[in-house]
């Protein structure tokens, strides 16, 4: 059994689909999708019978996308049980799907004026304390109306049940329930961007019993007698705790750089005012402000972070800042899933439910590719067998021995960093000229190139001939 088969069985082997044969098909499809990731089923399954079986599965009226999702998130929670605590970045995204004839039941994405169609979702990704992905911890899909409903009531006059915020709350609750069931002793540290800054979200996170950090978007009043005070201005007036630096990854239109940040913190009681009910209630939180100094270009950092973690010292406040930087992991995961290695937006299925089933499988594949990438970066000295099978390691050693440099010594038991580098080289990685360490696309290509070598190695091995 190769690592993809073992992984697929761990992730989807306990899926409750009403028939064990459907679960077996799901495990097989996930393993195949890992070996040949693509948004198009026709590119993952080359054999006619296998391809038809895959289409029959995703189009079956007996298979529910939420059942596949529950198996995925439950397996992630089980892996979290081995950790003292986990980061859980949560964010929304959309999958753009083509519907030129207007015959599919997809919803609108982006602005209604653009006419783009697809699906919306909130995802949660579980990371170990070093930032290495453990898997998808939450997944909530929804579909917007195709035509702008032009609601008469403004957003602040509508209850949460009528807003898309409810899907974020469902995602957070989904993570909490799975952790309570499969990893009851583990605390989550939710990481949310400013798009998630809403009083209903802060309330639910506060009541969840887990840690959280939310980047504030709105400026709120402080619950105090006397003159009105606002939390952002109050936070800016706090004494400087110290200066620290972080490495910012490159983004579109912004090169990577080392940012020096001034850190301030305070304990505040916010006055949460509900414009719909016109009621206010206090919520005691801690806040951290980080301002970038010595930089005047675009994208200058100024983060107001709300958290329930202690921030009295520079070390405590900086731990909150470092935790928030782990939120970038979910953006990189989305890139791998949507337009990188998995290309889920190339999906050509005709139904929302069908797309959700196939996209959920690919989301698990994307998370594993991201895990392999970050294991190589964060835990480079771990043995390659922590993520790869013995046969894959042996085949990889043989392949690299044939293409090694003249004076290079190839170890028989490579580390995960060495194995990942060799896999990426099979996928076209050229080293520094590629623009950085191995990424998800070259890793996925390399794993695809490794598969036939592993099969050949098994056929030629003595154990195989004995059978």
Assigned domain for 444 exists: yes
Task: Give the DSSP per-residue string, 261-328.
Answer: EEEEEEEEEEEEEETTTTEEEEEEEEEEEEEEES--STT--EEEEEESS--SSHHHHHHHHHHHHTTH
Token pair belonging to 169: 């709350």
pLDDT at 291 > cutoff 90: yes
pLDDT at 467 > cutoff 70: no
Token pair belonging to 21: 């044969």
Assigned domain for 340 exists: no
- Same-domain pairing of 18 and 55: yes
- Is residue 165 within 8 A of residue 201, CB to CB? The reply is yes
Name the strand (E) or helix (H) holding 41.
helix 41-44
pTM for this prediction: 0.92
- Same-domain pairing of 405 and 443: yes
User: What band does 465 get if pLDDT is binned at 50, 70 and 90?
Assistant: very low
Assigned domain for 30 exists: yes
Task: Give the DSSP per-residue string, 86-106.
Answer: EEEEEEEEEEE---TTS-S--
The total domain count for the chain is 2
- Is residue 137 within 8 A of residue 124, CB to CB? The reply is yes
Instruction: Give the separation between CA 404 and CA 417, rounded to whole angstroms.
Output: 16
Quick: pLDDT tens for 66-96.
Answer: 999 999 999 999 999 999 999 999 999 999 9
- Same-domain pairing of 355 and 426: no
User: What band does 459 get if pLDDT is binned at 50, 70 and 90?
Assistant: confident
Among residues 363, 395, 421, the one where a domain terminates is: 363
pLDDT at 226 > cutoff 70: no
pLDDT at 397 > cutoff 60: yes
Give CA angle at 305 (302, 311), nearest 5°: 115
pLDDT for the residue 94: 95
Between the alpha carbon of residue 383 and those of residues 141, 413, 415, 419, the distances in Å are 37, 7, 4, 9
Task: Give the pLDDT mean for 339-362.
Answer: 93
Assigned domain for 105 exists: no
- Is residue 246 within 8 A of residue 263, CB to CB? The reply is no
- Same-domain pairing of 438 and 387: yes
Token pair belonging to 178: 């799975």
pLDDT at 376 > cutoff 70: yes
Instruction: Give the separation between CA 259 and CA 152, rounded to whole angstroms.
Output: 45
Assigned domain for 131 exists: no
By three-state DSSP, how is residue 248 classified? strand
Quick: pLDDT tens for 94-150.
Answer: 999 988 888 889 999 988 888 899 999 999 999 999 999 999 999 999 999 988 887
pLDDT for the residue 407: 78
Name the strand (E) or helix (H) holding 174.
helix 165-182
pLDDT at 51 > cutoff 70: yes
- Is residue 138 within 8 A of residue 171, CB to CB? The reply is yes
* Domain span holding position 403: 380-466
By three-state DSSP, how is residue 250 classified? coil
Assigned domain for 156 exists: no
Token pair belonging to 148: 């702008």
Among residues 363, 398, 426, the one where a domain terminates is: 363
Among residues 329, 363, 397, the one where a domain terminates is: 363
Query: What percent of the chain is modeled with pLDDT above 90?
Result: 65
Residue 372 buriedness (CB in 10 A; 0-12 / 13-18 / 19+): buried
User: What band does 340 get if pLDDT is binned at 50, 70 and 90?
Assistant: confident
CATH of the domain at 411: 1.10.740.10
Choice among 127-131, 250-254, 410-414 with the minimum mean pLDDT:
250-254
Assigned domain for 125 exists: no
- Same-domain pairing of 384 and 453: yes
Look at the alpha carbons of 460, 465, 466, 467 in this order and tell me if their dihedral is positive or negative. Answer: positive
- Same-domain pairing of 9 and 58: yes
Taking the CB of residue 165, how many other CB atoms lie within 10 A of it? 19
What is the chain's alpha carbon radius of gyration, rounded to the nearest angstrom?
A: 24
CATH of the domain at 46: 1.10.246.40
pLDDT for the residue 464: 46
User: Residue holding tokens 């400013």?
Assistant: 194
Assigned domain for 290 exists: no
Give CA angle at 438 (43, 138), nearest 5°: 65
């Amino acid at each position: 059994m190769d690592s993809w088969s073992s992984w697929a069985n761990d992730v989807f082997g306990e899926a409750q689909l009403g028939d064990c044969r459907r679960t077996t098909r799901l495990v097989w499809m996930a393993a195949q999708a890992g070996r040949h990731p693509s948004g198009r089923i026709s590119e993952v399954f080359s054999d006619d019978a296998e391809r038809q079986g895959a289409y029959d599965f995703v189009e079956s009226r007996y298979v529910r996308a939420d059942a596949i999702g529950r198996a995925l998130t439950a397996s992630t929670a089980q892996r979290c049980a081995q950790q003292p605590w986990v980061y859980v970045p949560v964010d929304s995204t959309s999958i753009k799907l083509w519907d030129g004839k207007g015959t599919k039941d997809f919803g609108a994405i982006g602005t209604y004026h653009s006419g783009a169609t697809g699906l919306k979702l909130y995802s949660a990704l579980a990371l170990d304390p070093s930032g290495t992905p453990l898997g998808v911890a939450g997944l909530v899909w929804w579909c917007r109306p195709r035509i702008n409903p032009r609601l008469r009531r403004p957003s602040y006059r509508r209850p949460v049940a009528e807003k898309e915020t409810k899907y974020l709350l469902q995602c957070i609750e989904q993570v909490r329930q799975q952790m309570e069931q499969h990893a009851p002793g583990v605390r989550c540290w939710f990481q949310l961007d400013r798009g998630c800054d809403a009083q209903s979200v802060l309330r639910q996170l506060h009541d969840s019993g887990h840690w959280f950090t939310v980047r504030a978007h709105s400026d709120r009043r402080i619950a105090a007698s006397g003159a009105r005070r606002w939390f952002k201005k109050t936070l800016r007036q706090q004494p400087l705790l110290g200066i620290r630096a972080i490495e910012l990854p490159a983004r579109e239109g912004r090169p990577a750089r080392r940012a020096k940040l001034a850190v301030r913190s305070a304990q505040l009681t916010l006055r949460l005012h509900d414009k719909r009910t016109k009621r206010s209630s206090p919520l005691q939180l801690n806040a951290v402000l980080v301002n970038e100094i010595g930089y005047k270009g675009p994208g200058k950092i100024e983060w107001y972070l709300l958290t329930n973690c202690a921030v009295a010292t520079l070390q405590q406040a900086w731990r909150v800042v470092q935790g928030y930087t782990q939120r970038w992991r979910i953006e990189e995961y989305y890139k791998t899933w949507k337009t990188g290695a998995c290309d889920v937006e190339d999906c050509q299925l005709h139904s929302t439910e069908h797309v959700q089933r196939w996209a959920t499988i690919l989301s698990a594949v994307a998370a594993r590719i991201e895990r392999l990438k970050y294991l190589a970066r964060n835990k480079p000295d771990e043995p390659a067998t922590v993520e790869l099978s013995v046969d894959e390691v042996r085949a990889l050693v043989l392949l690299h021995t044939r293409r090694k440099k003249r004076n290079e010594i190839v170890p028989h038991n490579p580390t995960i960093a060495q194995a990942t580098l060799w896999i990426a080289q099979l996928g076209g990685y050229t080293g520094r000229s590629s623009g950085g360490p191995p990424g998800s696309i070259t890793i996925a290509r390399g794993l695809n190139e490794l598969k036939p070598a592993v099969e050949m190695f098994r056929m030629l091995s003595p154990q195989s001939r004995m059978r």
